[in-house]
Chains A and B, each alone.
Chain A
Amino acid sequence: MTVQPSDIWTRLTALFQDVLDDPDLAITPVTTAKDVPGWDSLTHIQLLVAIEGEFNIRFNTAEVAALANVGEMVVLIAERTAQKS
């Protein structure tokens, strides 16, 4: 079963809200760390770990460093979850 993008979006938003501790946080495809208070290099790791756990996927070393905005994350998640099905 392929994970639909909108489903990814909902789950990703919930995840961001939890890790960044902001229940009202809204994210868009162009949201980056600069736009969100509290998204620093360490919360970045926490976000990635949480995404890996939530979607049962694994980022490689380059991706861990390079994923710069939310849109890229969604694309990668969709790709990885599609590969599994």
Chain B
Amino acid sequence: MQQLKTLIGNSAYEEAWSRLLELGAATTDGPTFLSLARLRQKLLKRAPRPGTRRRVKVALLGGATTDLLEVPLLLALDIMELDACVHRTDYNTFAQEMLDASSGTVAFAPDVAVVVNTSANLPAWPEVGDSRERVEQLAEKVADYWLKLCARLHENARCEIVLNNFHLLPTRPLGNLAAKTPWDPNSFIRRLNLALGDRAPAFVHLNDIDALSSMYGVRQWFDSRYWFHARQPVSFNCLVPYVLNTAHIVRALFGASAKCLVLDLDNTLWGGIVGDDGPEGIRIGEGDPVGEAYKGFQEYVRRLNERGILLAVCSKNDEVSALAPFTSRPEMVLKRENFVAFKANWDAKPDNLVRIAAELNIGLDSLVFVDDNPAERAHVRQRLPDVKVIDLSEDPADYPVLLDDSGLFEITALSAEDQNRTLQYSENAERLRSMESAGEYSDYLATLEQVGVIRPFDEPHLDRITQLVNKSNQFNLTTVRLSRSELATMMSDANRLTAYVRLADRFGDNGLISVLAARHDGTELWIDLWLMSCRVLKRGVEQLLCNHVFEWALEHDVRRVHGSYLPTAKNRLVEKHYRALGFDMVDQGEDQGTRWSLAVASFRPFKVTIALKEDY
């Protein structure tokens, strides 16, 4: 910390920023984090943080006191690589800020509103002797009280909302009988939390204070002295987890997310070194505490895989040795087919990571690297600063907790695509293999028996659409990031054409893989959103969607369709997209962006090998 102060004193601002963020990411102690957060404010006055990041406007609404949360939350959001500005409102004004369409919060136009509510803000509690039915009804009523406030704010400001659920109270006047007594306050809180979880709409994201406070212990989480003194909602011991947990949700909404977990093998997925100990000598499974710890870690990793995180192996081993335990040790929880990439060789790990990212067609910033060897971690950090590296401890029992606390896998909605992701990648590998054995590419496409569905945005697919809009980097013409709420607004906008494409072939369902939106202005149609998953490049989806746009244009008396391309570091791929579709370049901006147009009368529909259906 002293070093940091010296750097600031010497005006070495760029170095100061990296040191500050490094220290912040490594600090779990509340008062230290607060000091760093204050230093950040000081540094910010001297020099902004170098580099560009996604800008996010965060409204902070108080049930409890939020004064001491604002500055650490800003540091946490910075650590999440978000350029945030916070608008904080006065103590206990959350209700009017949410209900009043002319409130300061609404005027601020936040991207997300973080509500700091506690059980002290509950409008009602059960009476002594209330029946279970009455308590359940009351729990639903109170849940709806909160959700109605959120719905009003969402109507007024169209923002995402982060709402706390409630931690248990730290004392039990009924003792253990409380567990069998529905009207007991803690029994009520449990029912209330469940009701909130069941009834929360897509734009309300629950900050799971209940779970988080349980991890630390309610008595550690909540400090009654500072509550009595200043309505401080969380103790300083737990300030950092509270603020980081909130920031993880904001990152999941607006920042980069992890797509693939890359794992080492020796002493990471099992105990010991398979090259030396042989597959029978490594420690995995029951009967041995260390083996059980590694098994526990594999189970945690499998859970991540089940919900859509891809798995890859990156191990310094020869491939035969590395693969052996997967077949010869039944205690292995993870199987070879859980991994979409398996790099076991003697090359440098950073090189392998680059290959993995290329094969899976994802950015390096979507990779999370886990390795018990600090030297390997340092090597990756140094060569590939975009890859997220998790520091493991010496004890495999800690590994699941360390991955959990990183918040890198935080996600605000799960789609069918997420659950099938590994399957889709292996189906894709099969497609590639069949392509290699086919002759002409067009023959190959015909053999795929592709079926496509094009529909306007709809509620059931909005989560997946939001995900694609925010995570696509390569096949993305304008790289405009939009929240689920903003996309929902587009969906109901009468002056808009919206479309998504689902694609299946004889190997399987690719899911929803392309999104387009255009603004209709009299005789002109302006395409402002066009993106596609790279997995389905050159299969005809681009032409299919283009045909659809011009068909719609013809039906709606549009004379000219316009498109634009905004170059970024990652989307050079689509520089010639509009040219390939027959558009003419209208102009080229200073930013190297290009604008295109094509008269509806001049458009000739493309022949595509995708059969358009109502559904499949």
- Does A61 reach chain B (CB closer than 8 Å)? yes
B228 lies within 8 A of A61 (CB): yes
CA of A59 to CA of B236, assembled, Å: 14
Residue of A nearest to B34 (CB): A46
A60 partner residues in chain B, CB cutoff 8 A: 225
CA of A19 to CA of B236, assembled, Å: 14
Q: Beyond A46-B68, A49-B236, A64-B225, is A19–B230 a contact (Cβ under 8 Å)?
A: no
Q: Beyond A61-B225, A61-B228, is A42–B68 a contact (Cβ under 8 Å)?
A: yes
Residue of B nearest to A46 (CB): B34
A65 partner residues in chain B, CB cutoff 8 A: 229
B224 lies within 8 A of A61 (CB): yes
Interface string of B229-272 (1 = CB under 8 A from A): 11010001000000000000000000000000000000000000
What's the least CB distance linking B52 to chain A, in Å? 29
**Of the residues A18, A41, A42, A61, contact of B35 by C-beta under 8 Å:** A18
Interface size on A, residues (CB 8 A): 15
- Does A21 reach chain B (CB closer than 8 Å)? yes
Q: Beyond A42-B68, A45-B232, A49-B236, is A64–B34 a contact (Cβ under 8 Å)?
A: no
Residue of B nearest to A42 (CB): B67
- Does A53 reach chain B (CB closer than 8 Å)? yes
Q: Beyond A21-B38, A61-B224, is A45–B229 a contact (Cβ under 8 Å)?
A: yes
Contacting B at CB under 8 A, from A42-84, are: 42, 45-46, 49-50, 53, 59-61, 64-65
Interface string of B55-78 (1 = CB under 8 A from A): 000000000010110000000000
A21 partner residues in chain B, CB cutoff 8 A: 38, 42
- Does B385 reach chain A (CB closer than 8 Å)? no
CA of A18 to CA of B38, assembled, Å: 9
Q: Beyond A42-B230, A45-B68, A45-B232, is A19–B225 a contact (Cβ under 8 Å)?
A: no
CA of A21 to CA of B43, assembled, Å: 12
A49 lies within 8 A of B225 (CB): no
CA of A50 to CA of B65, assembled, Å: 19
- Does B606 reach chain A (CB closer than 8 Å)? no
CA of A59 to CA of B225, assembled, Å: 9
Known: A46-B34, A61-B229. 5 other contacts (CB 8 A): A21-B42, A42-B65, A42-B230, A45-B68, A53-B29
9 closest residue pairs by CB, A with B: A49-B236, A61-B225, A50-B31, A64-B229, A64-B225, A42-B67, A53-B31, A49-B31, A61-B228
